[in-house]
Amino acid sequence: MSSLSIWLDGKFVPEEDAKISIFDHGLLYGDGVFEGIRAYGGTVFKLKEHIDRLYKSARVIKLKIPLSPDEMTEAVLESCRRNQVENGYIRLVVTRGRGDLGLDPQKCPKPTIFIIAADIELYPEEAYTKGLKLVTVPTRRNLAESVNPRIKSLNYLNNIMAKMEAHQAGAKEGIMLNDQGYVVECTGDNIFIIESLKKLRTPPPYMGALEGITRQTLMDIAEASGFDVIEEPLNRYDLYVADECFVTGTAAEALPVIEIDGREINGGKPGPLTRELIDKFRNSVCDYGTPI
């Protein structure tokens, strides 16, 4: 396997030379933001939307990115070219940068930026054809008044703890609730249910869900396909009695769900409307792409 070429603070370096300071506050405190981005067929999926979200997350935590959005866009595209990535995954990270051992971000004069263009596989292929089994996990989603989940920050311990609990229960993915007991999202994916008469429901961002870019794409596709798309609070009862269910995420893409907390969905098989939406998504991904 050949060495990757990593974009690090304005220069491309071999992956073995891509190093950051042990005093970087992204490492010490999870102080930073990131984006996970997909490439399909020689295009980068919804690159503008990902770049826009990166800069919004940075603005919220008062992290000034020293590149313009156009410069960042070109850095992402060039990373794909250098690594010959036509179908793959891009991780774009901006940390607060090197500081001291204290928390004060004012001690970090310059952010660290790096871009990795490579491959990723979150779930086995059979999960896409046969569907996922989900469990509700004990760990609750971060309060919006503490670390707002709409910020795509480097601090993912909340999600990691929930993922461990899902694995301990024998599931590949876990459903997270907010402090009020409402369904928010999975540890790394947004969640949807389908009810009769083509009604598509998903938790709204104000409940604590990330405004997923793949999520929004599936909502747009569903609306164009005649679905009634509704963002509203959901509880576990709504999931258990749903006709169909699926999850979405940039890295995960879109997968059917066949069981939640031991309750079968659609008789334990991927639903036909879910299949319809996922097929339309897969057939249209290049239409939303920026050419590499």
Q: Could you report how far apart the first and last alpha carbons of the chain are, in Å?
A: 22
3-state SS assignment for residue 192: strand
pLDDT in tens, 212-222: 999 999 999 99
Residues 6+ apart with CB under 8 A from 168: none
In this structure, which CATH number among 1.10.3720.10, 3.20.10.10, 3.40.50.720, 3.40.1160.10 belongs to the domain 125-284?
3.20.10.10
Mean model confidence pLDDT for the chain: 96
pLDDT in tens, 39-67: 999 999 999 999 999 999 999 999 999 99
Mean pLDDT over 138-143 rounds to: 94
- Where do the domains of the chain lie? 5-118, 125-284
Inform me whether the pLDDT recorded for 1 exceeds 60.
Answer: no
Asked, colleague to colleague, whether 5-118 and 125-284 share their fold, the answer is no
Contact 141, 177 (CB under 8 A): yes
pLDDT in tens, 263-281: 999 999 999 999 999 999 9
Q: How far apart are CA 252 and CA 121, in angstroms?
A: 8
CATH class, range 5-118 = alpha beta
- Does 56 qualify as catalytic in the annotation? no
pLDDT in tens, 103-132: 999 999 999 999 999 988 888 889 999 999
pLDDT of residue 280: 97
- In the set 46, 133, 152, 163, the catalytic residue is 152
Inform me whether the pLDDT recorded for 2 exceeds 80.
Answer: no
